[in-house]
Chains A and B, each alone.
Chain A
Amino acid sequence: MSSRERVLGRVRRALADVPADARPYEEAVARDYLREHGQRSVAETVDLLAENLADYRAIVHRCAEEELPGLLARLLSAHGSRTVVVPPGLPAQWTAAADVTLVQDLAASTAPELDEVDSVVTGCAVAVAETGTIVLDGSPDQGRRRITLVPDHHVCVVRVPDQVVPSVPRALERLDPARPLTWISGPSATSDIELDRVEGVHGPRTLEVVLLGGS
């Protein structure tokens, strides 16, 4: 007998005492919880996102579309970045004003090569206000997962209010499970020393989030 048959057989025998349950999945779970917490206007939801991002040590900026190239140039310069990796679908004008060498996100580039890059600039798929989370799904303006992981400085541009949802349930509704997803809430951190939170371990130690188009 294969291990597969053995495990499945054990499961079936283990459940032999349980009365048959013909209830479909839809009826088995009472979803009495909230789809989102509290009543907020769109602007208030964006404010909550900014507040919760900052609470977990992300650096939050707001700007209008035409101000973005200037802002990105300033952020990269302030961080001392000379090389910046960009995903293939990032609008070219975003980084047009920055005095940096752009590195393309290529399948052939290796992790040690990425480790030499100072910063990464991406868009995002969705941002969650209640938890201060940005979610990347590998779309052309976000790139492969590793480009937002190996460089030490990540600048993520969130289009507000379109990409902002209030809550985790609302975020999952918008996401496609077939895509590789990365949920990011603040810079890399650890609670492993005396259960106290310290920022800055393996992922980017600086996370800057630009809320684009917000008032």
Chain B
Amino acid sequence: MSGTFVGMPAFPRAAREAVRDTTLRGNLRHATRTIRDKRARAVAELDDWAALREAGKQIKDHTLRHLDRYLVQVEEAVTAAGGTVHWAADADEANEIVARLVEETGESEVVKVKSMATQEIALNEALEARGVHAYETDLAELIVQLGKDRPSHILVPAIHRNRGEIRDIFRSEMSEWGRPAPENLTDTPAELAEAARLHLREKFLRAKVGISGANFVVAETGTLVVVESEGNGRMCLTLPETLISVVGIEKIVPRWQDLEVFLQTLPRSSTAERMNPYTSMWTGTTDEDGPRTFHLVLLDNGRTDTLADEVGRQALRCIRCSACLNVCPVYERAGGHAYGSVYPGPIGAILSPQLRGTGSEIDASLPYASSLCGACYEVCPVAIDIPEVLVHLRERVVQGGPAVRGGNRVVLKPAKGHAAERAAMRAAQWAFTRPGALRAGQRLASRTRRLHPRTLPGPGRAWSGSRDLPAVPAEPFRDWWQRTRGGKDGAK
């Protein structure tokens, strides 16, 4: 399996293959069900959950509404605290900035804290091309990196792997990257965690450059926040001499006080804990404690395009907790890889087509990767109405229309693949506005019902491939109504 998402097939094709993989389905079912129940218990402990959720939504909406002002405030506060702020309009710019900053230190390796933003821009690959090795230090990211695999979950990128597979990857790959796995490594989670501890420790202790993302950036103080469990984040944030943080522009909250909402809702929504083991907060640099040089790279990469969409902009409230993945029936069966993006699951289905546009086959198919059951909306700690955005994006794919791409207003063409759907809708519109034709058509359908095929021919085949065609009644409803006067006579 390749390490990138480039050229991914559309969701239905990728999902069809994934659901045939019984190991994958077993791994996902086990993991998502475990976390689902735990999350429900952690949330139930707080009787003001609904108010926290509403406050989180309002804080994010307010920030997005005044994002230009808060971005400038972040820049001022971080600079005043001793940091340097860089702006990146897209992935290439961000990668170029980071590569240059690393080269300026003279180092050829960096340690990384798990970060969705750097996954999104494929920073590791860009650094590798410049001769810089990036070591992932989050346990799940390490499993993905060692296995030359792709992430399949926002919080636990190796969720598709079970303990036995992880042991095999550690045994065969660790020696390639540094300290080999211990002899006789078993598949107990504690031993696997210990193997990762030993493997990474030498890298932490000699690292001169750390690269991170951030969960939050506080505008009034310039404080960055990283929420984690293992301590690899603390290692990368405090031991190196240089720290580079790549942060999406939607990660801002206006004030210090705002953290009181998200530090309650994020851990309970993501790992179902009252509080995650470690949270680091830093403001610029501190004399003789932690990195001496701090760079903040503010990343757009499609976020302002998303912000321009009235319905879709709510996706920028996302705090990357992954609760929506864990409850999603489609994610549980198809797994994360089928979504063809570092952002899988329901949030990925609305985020990827907005960040990247709906031009590719995979991105145009993502808004359909849902049954619209609404479980994702229910658990979202910032109340993103994911089904609403999915339907909105489906409309955009089918009908085309105005959108913003790369900061420019464009008019999207209707997708080609939906010609049959549009033709069917036009035919329906014609028939429904002509009662005579509708009646004749219904009678014809009823009389010929024994001859109807079980599946649709031609372009309708895909639709009926996973659905039963509705049975046509022996008599059209309107004929029955007229004949029986609405059933008043007791006639059938």
Chain A residues engaging chain B, CB cutoff 8 angstroms: 2-4, 6-15, 17-18, 21, 25, 28-34, 37, 52, 56, 107, 111-112, 115, 128, 130-133, 138, 144-146, 149-150, 168-169, 172, 177-204
Contacts and interface: CB of A to CB of B under 8 A. Distances in A.
Nearest to A207: B277
Nearest to B301: A7
A190 B283 contact: no
B274 A193 contact: no
B190 A33 contact: no
A42 B207 CA distance: 44
Interface string B295-308: 00010100011011
B162 A194 contact: yes
B298 A193 contact: no
Interface string B6-46: 00000000000000000000010011101100000000011
A193 B259 contact: no
A29 B258 CA distance: 10
Contacts, number: 264
28 contacts: A7-B298, A11-B304, A13-B407, A17-B310, A28-B59, A29-B59, A30-B55, A30-B58, A33-B52, A111-B206, A115-B205, A144-B289, A146-B290, A149-B234, A149-B235, A178-B221, A178-B283, A180-B289, A181-B280, A182-B278, A189-B230, A191-B155, A193-B163, A194-B163, A195-B34, A199-B190, A202-B204, A202-B234
A190 B139 contact: yes
Interface stretch (B64-72, B174-182, B384-392): B64-72
Residue from the set B86, B190, B277 with the largest chain A CB neighbour count within 10 Å: B277
A10 B302 CA distance: 10
A172 B159 CA distance: 33
Nearest to B238: A145
Given A56-B273, A179-B286, A180-B286, A7 B249 contact: yes
Given A188-B278, A194-B163, A197-B271, 9 more contacts: A7-B304, A32-B48, A52-B274, A145-B238, A178-B283, A193-B166, A200-B194, A201-B230, A202-B200
Contacts of A184: 277-278
A17 B89 CA distance: 22
Contacts of A12: 68
Contacts of B137: 202
A138 to B, nearest CB: 6
A194 to B, nearest CB: 5
Given A3-B87, A177-B281, A14 B308 contact: yes
A186 to B, nearest CB: 5
Contacts of A31: 55
Contacts of A193: 139, 163, 166, 189, 192-193
B274 A192 contact: no
A28 B61 CA distance: 9
B282 interface: yes
Given A192-B138, A193-B193, A25 B62 contact: yes
Contact of B300 (A7, A37, A150, A197): A7
Interface of B: 27, 30-32, 34-35, 45-48, 51-52, 54-55, 58-59, 61-62, 65-68, 71-72, 81, 86-89, 93, 137-140, 143, 155-156, 158-159, 162-163, 166, 189-190, 192-194, 196-197, 200-201, 204-206, 218, 221, 223, 229-232, 234-235, 238-239, 249, 254-261, 263-264, 271, 273-283, 286, 288-290, 298, 300, 304-305, 307-308, 310, 313, 404, 407
A128 B47 CA distance: 18
B235 A202 contact: yes
Contacts of B197: 200-202
A88 to B, nearest CB: 11
A204 to B, nearest CB: 8
Nearest to B235: A202
A172 B230 contact: no
Most A Cβ at <10 Å: residue of B138, B155, B201, B278: B278
Contacts of A196: 34, 189
Contacts of A6: 87, 89, 407
Contacts of B255: 25
Contacts of B46: 37
A172 to B, nearest CB: 5
B58 A29 contact: yes
Contact of A192 (B68, B156, B313): B156
Given A3-B93, A21-B65, A185-B277, A9 B407 contact: yes
Contacts of A202: 137, 197, 200-201, 204, 230-232, 234-235
Nearest to B64: A15
B189 A186 contact: no
Contacts of B35: 191, 195
Given A8-B71, A194-B27, A194-B162, A32 B234 contact: no
B65 A195 contact: no
